[in-house]
Amino acid sequence: MKKFAVLGMGICVVLAFSSCKSSESAYKKAYEKAKQQELAEPQNAAPVEEVAPVVSAPVEAKVVESAPAGMRQEKLTVVSGEGLKTFSVVAGSFGVKANAENLKNFLAGEGYNAVIAFNAEAAMYRVIVATFDDRASATSARDSFKAKYPNRKDFQGAWLLYKL
């Protein structure tokens, strides 16, 4: 009698598990459907390169009206290094001072006398490679800086700054 009771309970358990659908299958179906939709959409994304994380804030910069594209005018205070002249070549902008210091140290190793300046309005630290009194000298210095580092995308974004 006990054998029949145990056998009956075993059959009930097997039927209970086999008759119920697993909730996992619904999730799996939804995942597969989303994956198919993703694959069906055209891929417009460019390949992603891994870079060190940089914390930054949005920058609102005024563009000098008579200046060519890529030149900004800002009020700056020198944080590290020697003073600034009217036109400067900016190699990097950071929201965290430690990141700016790291770039300044790298550039010092490359032979540049880099300066760190702070823009209080944008809360950004600017790493300046060179500074000049005239726009033409600054433009040629920016172009030669970009040419010296053709494989560094971050340096290819170097821009001119007009100090207010």
Q: Average pLDDT by consecutive 10-residue portion of the chain (164 residues)?
A: 81 71 67 75 57 58 52 90 91 94 93 94 94 93 93 91 89
Beta strands in the chain (DSSP E): 62-63, 71-74, 77-80, 87-94, 115-119, 124-132, 159-163
Q: Which domains does the chain have, with CATH numbers?
A: 67-163 (3.30.70.1070)
Give the per-residue pLDDT at 89. Answer: 94
| Beta bridge mates, 74 | 163
- Please give the DSSP secondary-structure letter assigned to residue 143: H
Give the per-residue pLDDT at 65. Answer: 47
**Overall residue count recorded for the chain in this entry:** 164
Give the per-residue pLDDT at 10. Answer: 81
C-alpha closest to that of 93 among 103, 79, 85: 103
CA distance 88 to 130: 6
CA distance 59 to 161: 14
C-alpha distances (whole Å) from 127 to each of 25, 32, 38, 154, 158 are: 54, 48, 41, 12, 10
Token duo for residue 31? 């995942």
Give the per-residue pLDDT at 81. Answer: 87
Give the per-residue pLDDT at 64. Answer: 44
